Amino acid sequence: MRRKWILIILGLFLIYALAIYVYLFHGANTAIPESMRGTNADPSTFMNKELLEKSETYSKIRNFFFFISTPLEWLFYAVVLISGLSKGLEKWGKQSWKRRSVQISAYVFWLSLLLFIVFLPLSYIRYKISLAYGISSQVFSSWMKDNFIEFWVDLGMTLIVVLVLYWLIRKSPARWWLYSWLLCIPFTIFVMFIQPVVIDPLYNDFYPLKDKVLEEQILDLAAKANIPAEHVYEVNMSEKTNSLNAYVTGVGSNSRIVLWDTTLNSLEDDEILFIMAHEMAHYVEKHIYLGIAGYLVLMLVGLWLTDKWMKRAIRNRGELYHLESMSDIRSLPLFLLITSILLFAASPVTNYVSRVQETRADTYALNMTDNPEAAISSFQKLSEKGLSQMNPPLLIKIFRNSHPTMLERIEMAEKYKK
C-alpha cells in the first residue's frame, strides 16, 4: 500500500518533469517580438551568434532546474513521511535522549543532513553547468565551503524556529499558528538586521568602495536622494562568478547598498551610476520595509492555512504518513512540505509585487540620472554577462522573475528617450 503510494507520487513527478521539459525546450516561444527586432532590445544587435545560442540554452537549463527542484523537495518530504523514515528518526531520538529539546534537535540535524546529501548532487550539476557556460568562476573547494557554511547557517536557523514552533504546537494546539506569527515579527526583523553584518560576511568579503573617484560621484548622487553615505559597499565576487549584480540589504543602521566587484569591473562609470540610482530608489521608497510587511501578511495567512491543512492531512491520511498528532516532531516533513507548496503558490504574487517595485526603481533611476543610453547599455551588459533570456517563457515570468524582463526594461528606457 505504502509502496504503491510512493510509486504513484514518483510517477507524477516524472510526468511533471517531462511536461516542463517539453514546455521549456520545445513549446514556449522566446523569440523577440517582430516590433522589437533590430532595436537595442534585440540581443542580436549586441551579442554574437555563439553567445546568443549559449544564453538561450543556458537559460533553458536553468529554468528547467528552477521548476524541478522545488517539487523534488516535496517528493523528498513525502517519501520521508510515507516510508516511515521520519517515524524511525523520531523513535531513535527518543531512545537515545531524555530531554525533548535534544530529541528534536537530533531529529532536525539528521533530517537536514539527509536533505543536504540528497540535494548535493543536484547543486553540483548546477555548479558544473554554470562553470561550463562561463558564469561561475568558483573553484570546487570554495564552492564546497559555501555549501558547508550554508548547511550550518540553515541548520542553526531551522533549529531555533523548530524548537519554538513545536513547543508552541504542544502548548497550544489550536492557536500555535497565531503565536508563531507574533514571534515571527521580531525574529524576521532581527535576521534582516544582522544579515549584512553577520550572515553575508560568512560567504564573501565586504568593504567600502575602493574606487574613490567613483565613490565621490556616488556620494553626490546619494546626497540628491538623501541617503547616508556609509550605505554603499563593494563585495568581492569575481572569484565566484562572472555575472553582475547590485542590491539593497538589511534594515535600520545596518541597511546598505551592495555592488558586486564584477559590476564595478565591467561597467562604465555612468552605467554604474544608473545602477546605483536604481538601488537608491529601493532605499528611498523603502521597498525592504514594504517587503517585510507583505511577507508578514503572507506568513499569517500561510501559517493559518498550514494549521488547517496539516490537521486535515493527519485526520484523513495519518496512517499513510505514520502520523498521529501534529505535536510529534516526526510531522516536521509534512509542515515543510505544506509551507513549501504554499510559498510556491504565492510566488506569482510576490514576484508581481517585486516587478512593480523594480519598474518603479528603473523609472526613478531614469529620471534621476537622465541618461537612458547608460541604462540601455547597462541592461545589455547585464544580459550578456549573466546569459539571461531577453524574453523568457510566460511560466518563468510568472513563477520566477522578480524583475521585469530585459526586453521590457530596455523598451522602457527607449520610451524615456522619446
- Which residues bind to Zn ion, rule: CB under 5 A? 358, 361
SS3 category, 328: coil
| Integer Cα distance of 45 and 38 in angstroms | 6
Helices (H) and strands (E) in the chain, counts: 15, 4
Least distance in Å: CB of 235 to Zn ion?
A: 16
Beta carbon nearer to Zn ion, 62 or 409: 409
Beta carbon nearer to Zn ion, 249 or 391: 249
Least distance in Å: CB of 288 to Zn ion?
A: 11
Least distance in Å: CB of 55 to Zn ion?
A: 21
Burial class (CB in 10 A: 0-12, 13-18, 19+), 163: middle
Least distance in Å: CB of 385 to Zn ion?
A: 16
Beta carbon nearer to Zn ion, 115 or 412: 412
Instruction: Choose among 58, 201, 45: nearest CA to 130.
Output: 58
Question: Quick check: 237 and 204 in contact, CB under 8 A?
Answer: yes
SS3 category, 257: strand
Active site residue 215: no
| Integer Cα distance of 260 and 266 in angstroms | 10
Outline where 172-286 has alpha helix (H): 176-194, 200-203, 212-224, 261-266, 269-284
Beta carbon nearer to Zn ion, 265 or 402: 402
The length of the chain in residues reads 418
Judging by DSSP bridges, how do beta strands 232-235 and 256-260 pair with one another? parallel
Q: Which three cell numbers stand for residue 58?
A: 543556458
Least distance in Å: CB of 361 to Zn ion?
A: 5
List all residues 6 or more positions away from 418 whose beta carbon is below 8 Å from its beta carbon.
Answer: none
Beta carbon nearer to Zn ion, 287 or 322: 287
Beta carbon nearer to Zn ion, 126 or 403: 403
Strands (E), 242-392: 246-249, 256-260
| Region of residue 387 (left: phi > 0; alpha: psi -120 to 50; beta: else) | left
Beta carbon nearer to Zn ion, 317 or 360: 360
Instruction: Choose among 371, 332, 376, 313: nearest CA to 158.
Output: 332
Least distance in Å: CB of 403 to Zn ion?
A: 7
Least distance in Å: CB of 150 to Zn ion?
A: 24
| Integer Cα distance of 301 and 355 in angstroms | 22
Question: Quick check: 378 and 270 in contact, CB under 8 A?
Answer: no
Nearest-10 Cα torsion for 311, 303, 116, 69: 100
- Radius of gyration of the chain measured on its C-alpha atoms: 23
Cα atoms found within 13 Å of the Cα of residue 393, Cβ hemisphere only: 22
Least distance in Å: CB of 295 to Zn ion?
A: 17
Give the active site residue among 279, 358, 408, 411.
279
Q: Which three cell numbers stand for residue 272?
A: 554604474
Beta carbon nearer to Zn ion, 90 or 358: 358
List all residues 6 or more positions away from 103 whose beta carbon is below 8 Å from its beta carbon.
Answer: 90, 93, 94, 96, 97, 329
What residues act catalytically? 279
